[in-house]
Amino acid sequence: MDTIFHLHNVVYAYANTADSPALNGISMQIQRGQRVAIMGANGSGKSTLLRILDGLYFAQSGTVEAFGHTLDEAHLMDEEYALPFRKRVAFVFQNPDVQLFNPTVFDEVAFGPLQLRWDTATIRQKVNDALDILEISHLKERAPHRLSGGEKKRVAIASVLVIDPEVILLDEPTAALDPKSQSRVVDFLVGWANTGKTVVVATHDLDTVPDIADDAYVFKQGHIIAHDTPRAILANHEMLLSANLVHAHYHLHDGQTHSHAHIHVGHQHDH
């Protein structure tokens, strides 16, 4: 498989946090067609990683390569590099309100193709196709800010799906959604990844990981503390406990208190 992203010893710190970087020596590779889960508790660095991969943030030390070329600010200032990169890589933010700003759902989904200078007929066809895939065609004349959380999330996904990217990066795609909306998002991710696309999902929702990923990293305080298959990661309760991804239950046996990690894995699809 081709390597899409190659990170070597990447460090990124926010202002006034140089002593505890959000990413601290991250090295990893993501291959074409992989479905990768970036797992970690809040503040572990997983969202920062997605922003690095999308060229929103830039490594302060170390190197980041995307599609065989250095991904840095200088390259993304060059339109000949930036436009193809923005078509190949798309990012869905955790909070869709950050991403949605157009007056109607149709306009929202059409915004990306307009920036890529597609012709009107192609834009209309691609937008309608994306709305159909996410089952939100009935919302196309609605204002995005008046939608439910699950509807907003699907509009945000449609707004990047429409440009047919090679890579989709999603930050907590099932966060704060009701079970039916979660199931729809997971079903979309499973189906879209099966087309050979590359999917990178940052999440602390362990229930969805076996469905959406075939490779998983666990982040803690800016470090990678585990990298394995989702099955192996989820079986390592001690590591998950250390990463604050599960919690311990305490029980009394034979007069003595014992603890064990507690995890719920597996969900039912609500079609």
Question: pLDDT digits over 159-198, tens only?
Answer: 998 999 999 999 998 887 788 888 888 888 888 767 788 9
What is d(CA 48, CA 202) in angstroms, rounded to the nearest whole number? 10
Q: What is the pLDDT of residue 36?
A: 96
Q: What are the tens digits of pLDDT across the range 188-238?
A: 888 876 778 899 999 988 888 998 999 999 999 999 999 999 999 999 999
Is the per-residue pLDDT at 255 higher than 50?
A: no
Q: Report which of 234, 243, 238 is spatially closest to residue 265, judged by C-alpha positions.
A: 234
The number of C-alpha atoms within 13 Å of 224 and in the hemisphere containing its C-beta is 19
The pair of structure tokens assigned to 84 is 């193809």
In the chain, the percentage of residues whose pLDDT exceeds 70 is 90
Q: What is the pLDDT of residue 15?
A: 85
The pair of structure tokens assigned to 235 is 């079986």
Average pLDDT over residues 46-54: 96
Q: What are the tens digits of pLDDT across the range 62-115?
A: 999 999 999 999 999 998 898 889 889 999 999 888 889 999 999 999 999 998
* Domain-wise residue ranges, the chain: 3-262
Contact assessment for residue 197 and residue 167, using Cβ atoms and an 8 Å cutoff: yes
pLDDT band at 264 (very low <50, low <70, confident <90, very high): very low
Bridge partners (DSSP) of residue 91 are: 169
The pair of structure tokens assigned to 2 is 């081709």
Is the per-residue pLDDT at 252 higher than 50?
A: no
Q: What is the pLDDT of residue 257?
A: 38
Is the per-residue pLDDT at 270 higher than 50?
A: no
Between the CA of residue 190 and those of 1, 64, 169, 177, 206, what are the distances in Å?
20, 27, 14, 17, 15
Average pLDDT of the residues of the chain: 87
What is d(CA 205, CA 24) in angstroms, rounded to the nearest whole number? 23
Beta strand 89-92 with 167-171 is parallel
What is d(CA 39, CA 203) in angstroms, rounded to the nearest whole number? 5
Is the per-residue pLDDT at 29 higher than 60?
A: yes
Which amino acid, 40?
Answer: G
What is d(CA 211, CA 268) in angstroms, rounded to the nearest whole number? 11
Q: Where are the alpha helices (DSSP H) in 31-119?
A: 46-53, 73-76, 79-88, 96-99, 105-115
3-262: CATH number:
3.40.50.300
Q: What are the tens digits of pLDDT across the range 121-146?
A: 999 999 999 999 888 999 999 999 99
Q: What is the pLDDT of residue 180?
A: 82
The pair of structure tokens assigned to 251 is 């029980």
Contact assessment for residue 158 and residue 96, using Cβ atoms and an 8 Å cutoff: no
Beta strand spans in the chain (E): 3-12, 23-31, 35-39, 61-66, 69-70, 89-92, 167-171, 198-203, 215-220, 223-228, 247-253, 256-262
